[in-house]
Chains A and B, each alone.
Chain A
Amino acid sequence: MAHLCLFSLLVLSMVLETQALTPTHHLTTTDVARLQAVLSQPFTDLKSAYYSVVGLSKLGILVADADETCQFIKSNLDPSSVESLFYAAEASQALSGCEIPVSNDTRDLLLATVSEDSTASQIHQSVSALSSLGLPLASQEVVSALKARISKEDNVLTIILALQTASRLSQQAELGDILEEIEDLAARLDDLSGVYLQFEEGLETTALFVSAAYALSDHVDMEPPLKEDQVIQLVNSIFSKKSWDSLSEAFSVASAAESLSNNRFHVPVIVSAQGPAAISHSQPFLRLQVTDVLCQPLSSASVLVESASTSSSKSAILSQAPFTLRDEVFELNFMASQPASGYYQFSVAIAGDSRFVANHVELKVKVSTRVAINNMDLSVVDKDQSTGPKTTRVEYPTKAKAPFMADSHQNFAMAFQLVDETTGVELTPHQTFVRLHNQKTGQEVVFVAEPDSKNLYKFELDTTERKTEFDSISGTYALYLMMGDATLENPILWNVADVVLKFLDEEAPSTIQAKTLYTPKPEIQHLFREPEKKPPTVVSNAFTALVLSPFLLLLILWVKLGANISNFTLSPSTFLFHIGHAAMLGLMYVYWTHLNMFQTMKYLAIIGSLTFLAGNRMLAQKAVKRIAAEQSSRLAKYRSLR
């Protein structure tokens, strides 16, 4: 039992894994036209001429006034620059009948650039120029130069340029090592949530990689080691950007698009429905456009519906039905199978070429229909069932002639059936509402009509039960039936009848006030932080005086003790010291009122150092005097003792 579970789980996971990716981003015809417009901009120098001419040739478009362009190329060519020669050679190759004159010096310059010391870009440019100009080159030398370059510089762009260069060499050369680089490079791509695959260097690098990889693979006729899902992820990355920042970016995208539509191994298929994928009796054909990445229709393909089943029941309506090709669009008359309205899951396969990638597509198709209302019966039923219901039948779209009454003794009831207009099958749309609208007060109440087991819709209105919804306002209400669904082509709003409702405990009918949802709300007054309560100024002043009073006491005591400045030495250091000290105290006051700590420290450093020096001098002099006085007094004492 456990083995069986495990086995089925394994099979299930395998089935899920084989669900192939389909492109989520691709170029539409407007995008291709925009790309063409970007590449057709008038060119200012040889580089932009190269991008424009070669880019447009990749899109399959010939440049207008080829002669003028050729003249432009020839006049802007700088024969001493390898880059200039490269642009000119490639561009002239794309134009018909444009020959660039080549001198021996040019050829020698190009051949000399093929060496280990040139950058990969230079090698690529010289080899491409030699190849386009029809000059001979030594393929093996190029290969060894490229291999040396790759081992020195391992970045992505170098390897891409090496791939491009190798695709221009002779097929006899040993390109195996360079071919292996494709796989290594593919491993360096970043997978973003399983949808995108791109280099962190960006879109241009990814696009150049694709064109280089396929160019080399075609050249050596070996399938590139890229899985189908990887190809689709690359398609998503490269074609997700629909407006390009620079000419080189547009060129790289055009280049990648051309390689992906024209190589020998992988051709991604883009399937899109023409218009919405919706079918109805007026529009019975499902139309699909099957193109390559450049929006060119794949006329050789044969499109087949593998299975078409309803989204809910998964029972197949259609199996193995082919599409017919008409005017480059594949169409299928699905209405011929007489599907019921709803959503269908189509599994479409595109065959015809073994190169096709992402050729299994899942589509969701909507089949819509028109609805008809049958047997609309309106009746007034007595609550106590004393008298039989009076039923009136109303035909859509007319309105019942007489209004219906409903009050506390009687209920109002409605029954109807909804069927498909053509097939007569019963339908249950998503929205079936009954709306009662009071014309006088503007009030409206909406109820839902529910179908019973036999798909017969019923609606009953009991005035006592529902009086809260109506706010107990009696009066004439217009009854509307509203019906809608995504698969209905004719949504319905039908004024069926007028109903007069009488409620008990009726309040005086007041006009409904519009909800006060959008009126200005009462203003909030912001309360600023209240300043703290301060004591009265008298108290503060009194205490200030009290706190300062001990200073007077100090002065009095000092005078009494006989403190004096009789020892004041009149020397410059003394003056400087006292001035400096006073200045420091003054600085303290200024700090309190004006300055911040940094300014104070600055001034303090200056004044402080002056004061220190002066004070040091002064105190030293004092010390000398004191020691002299002490010594003389000791001497005097010693003498007196003797």
Chain B
Amino acid sequence: MSNSVFSVISRFVEEYRSSTPNKLKVIDAYLLYILLTGVFQFLYCVLVGTFPFNSFLSGFIACVGSFILAVCLRIQINPQNKRDFLTVSPERAFADFLFAHTVLHLVVVNFVG
């Protein structure tokens, strides 16, 4: 059982390393970073306490929001999905990413207190 899981994982990692374009790997690294930041914030909240709650919420929402936006960017940039996004060029996707981030930051900074 564990053998098959291990083999699936190693196969997946091989595939990932070879066939994923570099651009997407860059975005994946960014995604990992955002994920870890969110996890550590949540860990603090669980261990130490929710004071000040609004700051925790804004930080956590920032992480979640950034993660979602980066995933969207990744999907839109991926050349394998080109058929689904005929009207959206990679540059346009990036511009959308930046704009959405501006709005997210505005809200987050308002709420962090």
- Interfacial residues, chain A to chain B (CB-CB below 8 A): 532-535, 539-540, 543, 546-547, 549-551, 553-554, 557-558, 561-563, 581, 584-585, 588, 591-592, 597, 600, 604, 608, 615-616, 619-620, 622-623, 626
**Cβ contacts under 8 Å, A597 to chain B:** 110
CA distance A187 to B1 in the complex (A): 103
CA distance A456 to B39 in the complex (A): 98
A-B residue pairs, 10 tightest by C-beta: A554-B33, A619-B91, A550-B36, A557-B29, A543-B44, A547-B40, A550-B33, A623-B91, A535-B48, A592-B109
In the complex, the answer to whether A547 meets B41 with C-beta atoms within 8 Å is: yes
**Cβ contacts under 8 Å, A622 to chain B:** 91
B25 touches A (CB below 8 Å): yes
**Cβ contacts under 8 Å, A550 to chain B:** 32-34, 36-37, 40
CA distance A539 to B37 in the complex (A): 17
| Per-residue A-contact encoding for B81-106, CB less than 8 Å = 1, 0 else | 00000000111101100100010011
B45 CB, min distance to chain A CBs, angstroms: 10
**Cβ contacts under 8 Å, A616 to chain B:** 95
Task: Assess A547 versus B37: contact at CB under 8 Å? Given A588-B105, A591-B109.
Answer: yes
| Per-residue A-contact encoding for B26-63, CB less than 8 Å = 1, 0 else | 10011011101100110110001101000000010000
A556 CB, min distance to chain B CBs, angstroms: 9
Of B34, B89, B102, the residue contacting A608 (CB under 8 A) is B102
In the complex, the answer to whether B109 meets A561 with C-beta atoms within 8 Å is: no
In the complex, the answer to whether B95 meets A615 with C-beta atoms within 8 Å is: yes
CA distance A469 to B94 in the complex (A): 95
**Cβ contacts under 8 Å, A561 to chain B:** 22, 25-26, 29
**Cβ contacts under 8 Å, B105 to chain A:** 585, 588
Of A534, A553, A581, A615, the residue contacting B51 (CB under 8 A) is A534
A193 CB, min distance to chain B CBs, angstroms: 57
**Cβ contacts under 8 Å, A543 to chain B:** 40, 43-44, 48
Task: Assess A563 versus B26: contact at CB under 8 Å? Given A534-B51, A623-B89.
Answer: yes
In the complex, the answer to whether A554 meets B109 with C-beta atoms within 8 Å is: no
B112 touches A (CB below 8 Å): yes
Chain B CB count within 10 A is highest, among A547, A588, A615, A622, for A547
Known: A553-B32, A615-B98. 13 other contacts (CB 8 A): A543-B40, A546-B40, A546-B43, A547-B41, A550-B37, A561-B25, A588-B106, A591-B110, A604-B106, A616-B95, A619-B92, A623-B89, A623-B90
CA distance A620 to B91 in the complex (A): 8
CB-defined A-B contacts under 8 Å, sample of 11: A532-B51, A533-B51, A543-B44, A547-B41, A550-B40, A554-B30, A557-B32, A558-B26, A563-B26, A591-B106, A604-B102
B interface residues, tally (CB under 8 Å) = 31
CA distance A585 to B106 in the complex (A): 10
In the complex, the answer to whether B95 meets A619 with C-beta atoms within 8 Å is: yes
In the complex, the answer to whether A562 meets B22 with C-beta atoms within 8 Å is: yes
Consensus secondary structure, chain A interface: helix
- Closest-by-CB residue of B relative to A618 is B91
**Cβ contacts under 8 Å, B110 to chain A:** 591, 597
CA distance A546 to B41 in the complex (A): 9
- Closest-by-CB residue of B relative to A550 is B36
In the complex, the answer to whether B41 meets A584 with C-beta atoms within 8 Å is: no
CA distance A543 to B22 in the complex (A): 32
Of A539, A553, A600, A620, the residue contacting B48 (CB under 8 A) is A539
**Cβ contacts under 8 Å, A547 to chain B:** 37, 40-41, 44, 59
Of B25, B33, B94, B112, the residue contacting A551 (CB under 8 A) is B33
- Closest-by-CB residue of A relative to B23 is A563
- Closest-by-CB residue of B relative to A621 is B91
**Cβ contacts under 8 Å, A563 to chain B:** 22, 26
A327 CB, min distance to chain B CBs, angstroms: 88
A351 CB, min distance to chain B CBs, angstroms: 87
Chain A CB count within 10 A is highest, among B34, B48, B89, B109, for B109
A323 CB, min distance to chain B CBs, angstroms: 87
**Cβ contacts under 8 Å, B41 to chain A:** 547
CA distance A585 to B26 in the complex (A): 21
CA distance A623 to B94 in the complex (A): 12
- Closest-by-CB residue of B relative to A536 is B48
**Cβ contacts under 8 Å, B43 to chain A:** 543, 546
CA distance A533 to B51 in the complex (A): 8
B28 CB, min distance to chain A CBs, angstroms: 9
- Closest-by-CB residue of B relative to A619 is B91
- Closest-by-CB residue of A relative to B35 is A550
**Cβ contacts under 8 Å, B49 to chain A:** 535
Chain B CB count within 10 A is highest, among A554, A563, A588, for A554
**Cβ contacts under 8 Å, B33 to chain A:** 550-551, 553-554, 557
**Cβ contacts under 8 Å, B98 to chain A:** 581, 615
A634 CB, min distance to chain B CBs, angstroms: 13
**Cβ contacts under 8 Å, B40 to chain A:** 543, 546-547, 549-550
Of A546, A558, A591, the residue contacting B29 (CB under 8 A) is A558
A616 CB, min distance to chain B CBs, angstroms: 7
Interface residues of B in 11-29 (CB under 8 A from A): 22, 25-26, 29
A538 CB, min distance to chain B CBs, angstroms: 11
CA distance A543 to B48 in the complex (A): 10
